[in-house]
Amino acid sequence: MSGPSQEGSPSSAAYVSHLLDSCGIPPRALRCTRLANLVNTIDPKLVAAAFGMNPEGVMFYLADHVDDSRLPMQHGS
């Protein structure tokens, strides 16, 4: 198993998976979390373009996001 490259290229998927084995988190979960964070903090179309994704594909990560500025004002009850 090879570790991180000295040339600055990404580590192999097998290396990353092996590092995460002990905590039980698959690399895919980490990628999803990073994408969800980017899509919810930056324009989803920009994220799609940056990662070469279909714009509709990143909308999945907005499923649980609510833009508070678009909600009606709540008055104290």
Residue 61: CB atoms within 10 Å? 19
- The pLDDT of residue 63 is 66
Task: Tokens for 21, please give them.
Answer: 């084995």
What's the pLDDT score for residue 7?
66
Give the span between the Cα atoms of 14 and 53, in whole angstroms. Answer: 24
Q: Which residue has the higher pLDDT, 67 or 42?
A: 42
Cα 46 versus chain centre, distance? 13
pTM for this structure? Answer: 0.48
Give yes or no for a contact between 47 and 24, defined as CB atoms under 8 angstroms apart: no
Mean pLDDT score of the chain, rounded to an integer? 76
Nearest to 55 by CA among 45, 65, 41: 45
Instruction: Judge whether residue 57 has pLDDT over 60.
Output: yes
30-41 pLDDT tens trace: 777 788 888 888
Residue 16, pLDDT > 60, answer: yes
